[in-house]
Every structure is written in structure tokens, then in C-alpha cells.
Chains A and B, each alone.
Chain A
Amino acid sequence: MNEIIQKVNNLSIGFKSKKGEEILILRNISTNIKKGETVGIVGESGSGKSTLALAMMGYVKHGLYTIGGECEFNSSNLLKMKNRDLEKIRGRKIAMIPQNAGQALTPNLKIGYQIDEALQLHSDLKEEEREKKISELLNKVRLPSPETIALRYPHELSGGQQQRVAVAMALAGTPDLLLLDEPTTGLDVTTQAHVLELLNFIAKDTGTSMVYVSHDLGAIAQVSDRIIVMYSGEIVLEGPSREILKKPIHPYTYGLLKSIPKLSLAGLPQSMPGSQPQPGTMHRGCSFFDRCDFSEEKCKNNSPQLEYLEELNTSVRCFNHKSLMNDSQVNQTVNEIKTSTQDKEILNLSEVSISYAKQKLLDQVLNRISDDNPTVKDININIKKGETIALVGESGSGKSTILKSIAGLLRTKGGIIKFDQNRNLSSDLKERDPNDLRIIQLIFQNPDESLNPNHTVEEIIAQPLKLYFGLKGEELKKNITDLLQKVRLGEFYMSRYPRQLSGGEKQRVAVARAFAAKPDIILCDEVTSALDVSVQAAVLNLLQQLKEDFGTTYIFVSHDLAVVRAISDRVAVLYQGRLCEVGPSKDVYQFPSHPYTEVLLGAVLEPDPDIKPKLVAEDIVEEKPPQKGCSFQGRCSRILGDICKNEVPPWQLTNSGNSIRCHIPLKELQKDQIN
């Protein structure tokens, strides 16, 4: 257990900027990976964690170069090794499992060939033996019918299956060290939990050392023995998993853990100010100085060294870790959200169904939509003024589709959407008058795509102001400044372009643009998914604050149940475009609940080594909702039989006002559910 297999020594990697300055991505990284252990490397995008993982394979991306230091494997420096020698180590001694298997599998080669290639290179097996081995490997990663999978092309598999293939490929060379670069990012919650469980199993089964790189402390907590926290190209904290998560003695980790929403806690987590500095903008002093609550004068000009603390077996890069040591039971405090829900109904969806199917010619002529199994069906939701209702579900659950219909971007197939009890909104954009369009505004997932890259912040926010209120000149400018102030951005941001802003700042601009229209309802489509963890809480807090100030209603779509827990008053769980459960969020997160809600809740990864995910159902991907019966029948572990297959389940009301759509009686539902 104590044998060191990879030794990173004083490693610095960087690139030359256009002006010829040397800009560092990694700064003096030193660490060891021991045999059989799993090390989690956690950090935000731009912290250098992926660059470090690649360097551990002797690989430096085009444009970057090694400035100093070594990565020693079997006492030879990988970074100085010839390509021919590296080929014998890569895949055989050290293997990589990439972030996005869909992109990392060669599109023109069959799965079987790609695994066979690794076997040919890194084993002495003969052809028939290799064939057997391929099946074995695919079996090991729990892919159904390995023989047929081997004959498929990568694009014919689902994201989860592709990721499993990548794992099988990495295992083909029986490596001593596995590097995993965000292996579950981009997968659905349940798939993610299943893949992590598989990785844990493999680590135990093969005794391979693993380096697990991720931005997600929840995933890291599930797999790692030891955690390395990186910030802006440096290691800021390193130690045993439990110590790091329970006693985070670096202010960054401390703040990070506090800002992650948890399932067990309703209310908004505390936010961390600012964002990670861009590489090249760092000056003297501690790189976390700007955002630190514990900083002192000396932190400004002196950068702290990594200091080893024997009592915790932990290294920390902070002058003030002692003050955190006493206080570091992360007693998470949350800002209770004030419910501003009023009795007045603002939006009513009744029997709404939406179809993506193309109309046949005859139906076009007769102006009817013929699809009898639409993507979204039977949606009945009442939304009260001032409430935050969340739509949750995995990809394909129809949550974004419903948002689009409310916004008028997608015509409904049936049912009625009513605003304020009397205005019919079951129409698309062309039929709505400007005021109908103004009252509903959208905020998108990815601010990179939702802000026009050729407009300045001023021009972006001015658009709705000019369109709806016809503002001009000084008045326009004043309004823009006010809005920027509301989203906590200074006036100097007006002349910036989106590419000059950080992710969090961009999303603030998008929020300001939405509020500029003085809308009644704001549709939030995965608004925090593209943001770094430390920024997420700040945006959530901002949204809550604005809502309290303006009395806006939010319809909040997310796949992240912990985020939903933090911000929403009410939750609607969707599966395959059908509602499973609707109720006040505090009740939905308690049992009894719909079997699908249970699956989702079980799969949530919390940054706590003591809370393990519970895997209830298989992570099959269904392409289409079933023709009849319950939408969840294909994956339900508690299926009753024919009744679930043939009849649409009834709504059952719990005492707390929670509606569950299931054939299983409420009492029974509660009985077997895991608490």
C-alpha cells in the first residue's frame, strides 16, 4: 500500500502568450500516487487539474510545454521520454478514461476493434483469446450482450454505454494506474451513480491505483481515499478524503463545501464571492486572496507554502489554517428562503401535450396533429404568483420542452396554457402580442450561447428595454446601470464583451437581461449547470434576492435535485414527458414518493463520505415513452404487473399535499422505501 508508483515533482506547465510572456497553468506541483489508492483531484475549470492528469501520462497538449519538474513513473521521467517508449507505458501501465467517451472513441472504428487494438498492443494474447477477452471486458463493465456491442460503432451507443466502453478499453492493458478525467460529467444522474459504483468495484477488484479528476466534490467523495484540491494551478489542500471533507482547513475548500447545496438541507447555501483568477492575471501573494474571508495583510504580498500537518496527515497552503482548524466542522448554515407565494394563480397548464413529430401532409391540410404518443402528455400544473416551481427529470424527460411551449417557441399539440386566469397562451410567438411576450422571459443554461458574442453588455441589456419600453439616451443608460447594480455588476461592465467575462458574470448579465423586461414569469433552463460550483451558489442567491424584490414567479428546470431542493417551493418530477409527482419540495424530498423520485434521490452524490448513493433501478435509456400504461414501467423496480403496463396510474394525494401518480397504494409505497 505504501509503494509509490507515480511521483510528480515540482511540475510546472505553461504556454507563451501572444505577447511572449510565460503563463503558468500548473505551478510547482508535487505529489505521490501510491499503489492501490484512489486519489481525487478536485478543482474548477481552469484550475489545471486535467493538465496535471495528462502530464501523469507524459502528455502535454499542443501549445503547452513543460517549464520544469518531472513526472516519474518507475523512476523514469515521462515528460522527457521518447514517444516510442511512452507507447509501451500508455495503455499498458497507465491508462486514461476520458471525460467525454462519445468524442474520445474513434467514430469510424467498431467498439470491438478499438478494444482489440489495446489488447494487441498491450498483451500477448492470440486472436481467439483476444476475442474472448473482449467479451469478458465488456461483461465486466456490465454492458448487455457483449457480442453485439462489439460489432457496433460508437455513435450507436448511449452516453453511459460509451463511458463503459471507455472503461473496458482502459482495462484491456491491465494498467497499474488509471487516470479518470471527469468520467461521469455529462451523464444523467442515475447513470453517473452507476458508473461510479462500477469504478469503485473495479478499484477493489483489480487493485489498480486511480487518479480521479473532477469538479464535482460529490463524485470525488464517493471514490477517493485521498483528495487533492487545486486552485488556479496550485495544490491548496491535500489529505485523506475524510479529513478534507469533514475538516476542510483551507478557506477555499471550506467555502466550497459550504456553498454546495445538500439534499438534507432546504434553503440556499452560502455563496463565495468572485471567481477564480484567469491564468496569467495572478500577481504576488495568495491566489485565493480576493475571495478569502480569512485573509490578512500578509496574504496580499506573500504566497503561502504548502505546509504538512502531522496531526491531520494533511498539507495545506494557507497562513491561517489554524483559525479554521478550530471551526472546521462544516456546520453548513443556509439562508432560509422566504416563500413569497401568493394565492393568486398566475399560470395554468391543463392537459398540455407537445409533439415533435412532423405532421403528415394530409394532417397539415386538415390542420391537425396526428401523433397519438406525443413527447409530452397530460401536463396539469397550477402555478401561483411568486412561487418557484421546479421541473426535474433526466434528459428526455420533457422538462425543457415544456419551458419552450410556455415561452411560445414550440406549439402545443393539445391542452391550454392560461396566464392570469384569462389570457390564453396556447399559441406560438406569432400569435402573441408584445405584452404576452414581455411577461415571460427566459434564462438559458449556457451563457456563452445565450449572449450574442458581438454585442457589449450594454447592448445586450438595452435590447428588451428598447423593445418593450422604447427607452432612449440617458434614461436607457440609467436603467442599464440600475439593472447591472441589481445583479451586482459594476457600471464598467457596460463596455465589455461576453468573452471578457467569467461564466458567473455572463450568467448575471443574462439574468439582468431577463429582468429588464419586468416580467411576471421567468423560465430558468438549467441556469446553474454550466457554472463552477463556487459560483453556482452566488447565482442562486442572486435569483432568490431578485425574486423577493420583484415578486417574480420562477419556473426552474434542472437535473440537479440538490439545487432544486435549495431554491424551489414546489417540485414536479417528470419522466418521459409525463408527470410522476408534484408537491411542495419539502414533501417530495421525504417519503413516500413515486418510485422514480426515489431512484433520482438515491442517485444524488453528496460531498460526504458517509452518504452513499442508493441504486434502485437500472440505468436503461428509453427512447420513447410507452404507448399505454405508466411511463416509468420500463425501469420500475416495484412494478406490479399488467395494471402498470395497461393503465395510466391515478393521482394519489398524501397528507402533506403531495400528489403521486402510481398504482401502488400510498402505504405500500412508503413501506419498502429506503429511509
Chain B
Amino acid sequence: MKLDNIYQEEKKSNFAKVSEIIITMASRPSGFIGLSILIFHVILAFISPYVAPYDFKAINPTLMLQAPSAEYWFGTDDLGRDVFTRTILGGRTALTITFFGSLIALLWGGLLGIFCGLVGGKTDDIVMRIVDAFLSIPWILAMLLIVSLLGTSTEVLIPALGFFYGKGIVRVARAATHDVIAKDFIVSARARGHSNFSIIWNEIIPNVRDAILVEGAMRWSWMLLGFSSLSFLGFGVSPPTPDWGLMISNARGLMSFAYWSVIAPIVGLSSLIIGINLTADAFAKALGIDRSTKAPV
């Protein structure tokens, strides 16, 4: 007996569906917190250039490593730059790059996964072998190779991140497709003689969409983690662009006497990752998918 069958709803517009999902997400405390943090960061990313009190690259040797004060809320760093200014600007690059990176990951990972799940057999075997091989190179080594090969521009980072974080989506999409194509409604569509394209578009995608979107949301938080690790190692955004990973890396050596310059970016980055993660979690729960069984690969 299905307990949630009780409420008879009518067909809804897409807008109504999306808003219903968001309301469901926000109705849990963790989802509400996650969504609020994420929205806060997104808004901040849009408005920060206009509200930042100082110039993020203005070096002032006389103001080196000042403790937090009314004038410099979060203190200043080793070059005398305002930490508050750099902190509120520090998420923009990361957020933009990983957002578009996730979209790319979703797109190619989802499509390839559906394709593999659908054709099965030898083609599927070979493609999955290759995906497996890519998986078995630690992401950080692969990313470092690419970055040292092609540089650290946005045009390189977005597709590279998208590529490496998409392989997990391939697996999820493939597994979901496998489950769906065994169902009788696919058999029925095939027996009627629908084209492969029509079967993928009308029958498969609506049924695997949720699983893939949840996976994509999850990838986003991991990609952010990966990207900031790259920045931290000096292979991400190049100075003087403010970036949390880079700021933490720079301020790390001085933290025994100027801890403020490392705390602010840590709070910024951690809260964003947690926000995305909680949101992804709530999103999965709102769609009825358990995401905790998935490995972070």
C-alpha cells in the first residue's frame, strides 16, 4: 500500500512543479538552511563588486596585517589589502566556474550514460571500460596535468572540470536508464515502433531526469571542493584575483600571528560548500532519491 497516494493532484505547469519542489526542500530545516546559504552566496556574487568598500588589489605596505577594526572589518593581509573586500569577492570565480562546469558535466555525462544504458552490449562495455580508466586516475593528478598543459584560464578550467566530474554522472545515468528500459512502457513503445529518438526523449529522459539532476547538484559541491583545492595548490585562479582557496594558501604561513586573514576565506568557502551540499541533499529528498549510497567518485 502506498501511503502517499492519497492526494489526488491535477497536472501542473512546470513552474508550479518547480516551486513545489523548492517548497518541499525548504520545509526541512536542513534544506532551508542550505537554500538560504546558497541564495545568500549567489546574491553576494552579483552585488559584491558594487558594495565592496575597498579596491581588492590596492596594495598598501603601511597597512600590513592589521587586526580587525571598525575600518577594516576582517583586518588586512600581508600586502595591506582589505580582507573583507577580498572575502566577499572571493566566491565569484569559484561559483561561476563550477556552476558552468557542472552544467557541462550534466550534459555530457547524462547523454553518454543514457546512450550506454540504452544500447547495452559491446558498445556499452567498451565505453564503460574507458570511463573506468579515466576514473582510476586520481582527479587531482589529471586536473594538474591538464592545467599545466593548457594553463589556468576559465576556458580551460570549465570544460576540464566538467569533463572530470561528468564521469560519475555517466554511471548514474546509465544505471537509471538500465532500470527504466526494463519496464513494460518502454517495451510497449518499442512494440509500437517509435523511433529511438522518440523513446529517449519521451520515455527515458523524463524518468531518469531526477536521478541525473540530483547527481549533478552533488557534483557541483564536489567540483567546488576540487576547484578550491586546485586554487589552494596554486593551479587555479591566478593572483591578484581574489579567491578563497588562494587566500587561504597565502595566509596560511602567517596564521600564527594573523589568523584573521585565513579565517574569513575559510568561513566563506566552507559555508558555500555546505550550502550547496545541503541543498543537493534536500533536492534529492524532495524528489525521493536517496543520495547517500553514492560514492564520491
The short answer to whether A and B are in direct contact, CB under 8 Å, is yes
- Contact of A409 with B187 in the complex, beta carbons under 8 Å: yes
- Contact of B6 with A280 in the complex, beta carbons under 8 Å: yes
Does A289 make an interface contact (CB < 8 A)?
no
Does B294 make an interface contact (CB < 8 A)?
no
Does A191 make an interface contact (CB < 8 A)?
no
- Residue in A closest to B8 when the chains form the complex, CB atoms: A500
- Residue in A closest to B1 when the chains form the complex, CB atoms: A46
Does B129 make an interface contact (CB < 8 A)?
no
- Contact of A444 with B188 in the complex, beta carbons under 8 Å: yes
Taking a contact as CB atoms closer than 8 A, the residue among A63, A437, A497 that contacts B193 in the complex is: A437
- Residue in A closest to B198 when the chains form the complex, CB atoms: A467
> What is the CA–CA distance of A450 and B7 in the complex, to the nearest angstrom?
22
> What is the CA–CA distance of A281 and B6 in the complex, to the nearest angstrom?
7
The interface size bin for chain B is 20 to 34
- Contact of B194 with A463 in the complex, beta carbons under 8 Å: yes
- Residue in A closest to B182 when the chains form the complex, CB atoms: A449
Chain B residues near A495 (CB, 8 Å)? 10-11
Does A254 make an interface contact (CB < 8 A)?
no
Chain A residues near B2 (CB, 8 Å)? 499
Chain B residues near A496 (CB, 8 Å)? 8, 10-11
The interface size bin for chain A is 35 or more
- With A446-B184, A449-B185, A495-B11 as known contacts, state yes or no: A437 contacts B6, CB within 8 Å: no
- Contact of A454 with B206 in the complex, beta carbons under 8 Å: yes
- Contact of A450 with B184 in the complex, beta carbons under 8 Å: yes
0/1 string, B181-219, CB within 8 A of A gives 1: 001110111111110000000110011000000000000
- Contact of A432 with B193 in the complex, beta carbons under 8 Å: yes
Taking a contact as CB atoms closer than 8 A, the residue among B5, B10, B202, B207 that contacts A453 in the complex is: B207
Chain B residues near A25 (CB, 8 Å)? 1
User: In chain A, residues 378-437, which have Cβ atoms closer than 8 Å to a Cβ of chain B?
Assistant: 407-409, 429, 432, 434, 437
Does A279 make an interface contact (CB < 8 A)?
yes
Give the number of A-B contacts (CB < 8 Å).
Answer: 85
Chain B residues near A499 (CB, 8 Å)? 2, 5
- Contact of B184 with A15 in the complex, beta carbons under 8 Å: no
Taking a contact as CB atoms closer than 8 A, the residue among B5, B9, B188, B193 that contacts A450 in the complex is: B188
Does A253 make an interface contact (CB < 8 A)?
no
> What is the CA–CA distance of A429 and B207 in the complex, to the nearest angstrom?
24
> What is the CA–CA distance of A434 and B193 in the complex, to the nearest angstrom?
6
Does A452 make an interface contact (CB < 8 A)?
yes
Does B149 make an interface contact (CB < 8 A)?
no
Chain B residues near A279 (CB, 8 Å)? 1, 6
- Contact of B10 with A409 in the complex, beta carbons under 8 Å: no
Does A45 make an interface contact (CB < 8 A)?
yes
Chain A residues near B71 (CB, 8 Å)? none
- With A451-B185, A496-B11, A500-B9 as known contacts, state yes or no: A467 contacts B1, CB within 8 Å: no
Does B3 make an interface contact (CB < 8 A)?
yes
Does B4 make an interface contact (CB < 8 A)?
yes
Chain A residues near B191 (CB, 8 Å)? 407-409, 429, 437, 440-442
Does A278 make an interface contact (CB < 8 A)?
yes
Does A667 make an interface contact (CB < 8 A)?
no
Taking a contact as CB atoms closer than 8 A, the residue among B6, B9, B187, B206 that contacts A17 in the complex is: B6
- Residue in B closest to A464 when the chains form the complex, CB atoms: B192
Does A18 make an interface contact (CB < 8 A)?
yes
- Contact of B11 with A456 in the complex, beta carbons under 8 Å: yes
Considering residues B4, B184, B191, B192, which has the most beta carbons from chain A within 10 angstroms of its beta carbon?
Answer: B192
- Contact of A452 with B185 in the complex, beta carbons under 8 Å: yes
Chain A residues near B188 (CB, 8 Å)? 442, 444, 450, 513
Chain B residues near A88 (CB, 8 Å)? none
Give the distance to chain B from A497, nearest Cβ to Cβ, in Å. Answer: 7
Taking a contact as CB atoms closer than 8 A, the residue among B1, B185, B190 that contacts A409 in the complex is: B190
Give the distance to chain A from B28, nearest Cβ to Cβ, in Å. Answer: 12
- Contact of B207 with A452 in the complex, beta carbons under 8 Å: yes
Taking a contact as CB atoms closer than 8 A, the residue among A434, A438, A444, A454 that contacts B207 in the complex is: A454
Does A23 make an interface contact (CB < 8 A)?
yes
- With A454-B206, A467-B192 as known contacts, state yes or no: A449 contacts B6, CB within 8 Å: no
Chain B residues near A445 (CB, 8 Å)? 184
Majority secondary structure, B binding face = helix
> What is the CA–CA distance of A554 and B175 in the complex, to the nearest angstrom?
36
- Residue in A closest to B9 when the chains form the complex, CB atoms: A500
Considering residues B1, B4, B187, B189, which has the most beta carbons from chain A within 10 angstroms of its beta carbon?
Answer: B1
Chain A residues near B189 (CB, 8 Å)? 463
> What is the CA–CA distance of A440 and B203 in the complex, to the nearest angstrom?
21
Taking a contact as CB atoms closer than 8 A, the residue among A429, A446, A517 that contacts B190 in the complex is: A429
- Residue in A closest to B185 when the chains form the complex, CB atoms: A452
- Contact of A455 with B206 in the complex, beta carbons under 8 Å: yes
- Contact of B190 with A278 in the complex, beta carbons under 8 Å: no
Chain A residues near B190 (CB, 8 Å)? 409, 429
- Residue in A closest to B191 when the chains form the complex, CB atoms: A407
> What is the CA–CA distance of A45 and B2 in the complex, to the nearest angstrom?
11
> What is the CA–CA distance of A278 and B236 in the complex, to the nearest angstrom?
57
0/1 string, A271-285, CB within 8 A of B gives 1: 000000011110000
- With A280-B6, A429-B191, A464-B192 as known contacts, state yes or no: A497 contacts B11, CB within 8 Å: yes
0/1 string, A434-478, CB within 8 A of B gives 1: 100110111011100111111110000001100110000000000
Give the distance to chain B from A75, nearest Cβ to Cβ, in Å. Answer: 32
Give the distance to chain A from B117, nearest Cβ to Cβ, in Å. Answer: 16
- Residue in B closest to A459 when the chains form the complex, CB atoms: B202
> What is the CA–CA distance of A450 and B207 in the complex, to the nearest angstrom?
13
User: In chain A, residues 277-331, which have Cβ atoms closer than 8 Å to a Cβ of chain B?
Assistant: 278-281
Give the distance to chain B from A270, nearest Cβ to Cβ, in Å. Answer: 27
User: In chain B, residues 88-132, which have Cβ atoms closer than 8 Å to a Cβ of chain A?
Assistant: none
Give the distance to chain A from B154, nearest Cβ to Cβ, in Å. Answer: 36
- Residue in A closest to B210 when the chains form the complex, CB atoms: A454
Considering residues A23, A281, A454, A495, which has the most beta carbons from chain B within 10 angstroms of its beta carbon?
Answer: A454
Give the distance to chain B from A530, nearest Cβ to Cβ, in Å. Answer: 11
> What is the CA–CA distance of A575 and B10 in the complex, to the nearest angstrom?
46
Chain B residues near A440 (CB, 8 Å)? 191
> What is the CA–CA distance of A304 and B188 in the complex, to the nearest angstrom?
46
- Residue in A closest to B206 when the chains form the complex, CB atoms: A454
Chain B residues near A453 (CB, 8 Å)? 207
- Contact of A452 with B203 in the complex, beta carbons under 8 Å: yes
> What is the CA–CA distance of A499 and B2 in the complex, to the nearest angstrom?
10
- Contact of B3 with A15 in the complex, beta carbons under 8 Å: yes
> What is the CA–CA distance of A449 and B193 in the complex, to the nearest angstrom?
18
> What is the CA–CA distance of A391 and B199 in the complex, to the nearest angstrom?
30
Give the distance to chain A from B113, nearest Cβ to Cβ, in Å. Answer: 18
> What is the CA–CA distance of A567 and B187 in the complex, to the nearest angstrom?
26
> What is the CA–CA distance of A432 and B190 in the complex, to the nearest angstrom?
12
Chain A residues near B206 (CB, 8 Å)? 452, 454-455
0/1 string, B156-195, CB within 8 A of A gives 1: 0000000000000000000000000001110111111110
Taking a contact as CB atoms closer than 8 A, the residue among B4, B10, B184 that contacts A449 in the complex is: B184
> What is the CA–CA distance of A454 and B192 in the complex, to the nearest angstrom?
19
- Residue in B closest to A433 when the chains form the complex, CB atoms: B193
Chain B residues near A517 (CB, 8 Å)? 192
> What is the CA–CA distance of A15 and B4 in the complex, to the nearest angstrom?
11
> What is the CA–CA distance of A139 and B193 in the complex, to the nearest angstrom?
53
Given contacts A25-B1, A429-B191, 13 further A-B contacts (CB under 8 A): A17-B3, A18-B7, A409-B187, A432-B193, A438-B193, A440-B191, A444-B188, A446-B184, A450-B184, A450-B185, A456-B11, A499-B5, A513-B188
29 pairs across A/B with beta carbons < 8 Å?
A: A15-B3, A17-B3, A17-B6, A18-B4, A46-B1, A278-B6, A279-B1, A407-B191, A409-B187, A409-B190, A409-B191, A429-B191, A438-B193, A440-B191, A441-B192, A450-B184, A450-B185, A452-B203, A453-B207, A463-B192, A464-B192, A467-B193, A467-B194, A468-B192, A495-B10, A495-B11, A497-B9, A499-B5, A517-B192
Give residues in B with beta carbon < 8 Å to A: 1-11, 183-185, 187-194, 202-203, 206-207
Give residues in A with beta carbon < 8 Å to B: 15, 17-18, 23, 25, 45-46, 63, 278-281, 407-409, 429, 432, 434, 437-438, 440-442, 444-446, 449-456, 463-464, 467-468, 495-497, 499-500, 513, 517
Which 10 pairs of residues, A with B, have the shortest CB-CB distance? A437-B193, A454-B206, A450-B184, A495-B11, A449-B184, A444-B184, A452-B185, A280-B6, A407-B191, A449-B183
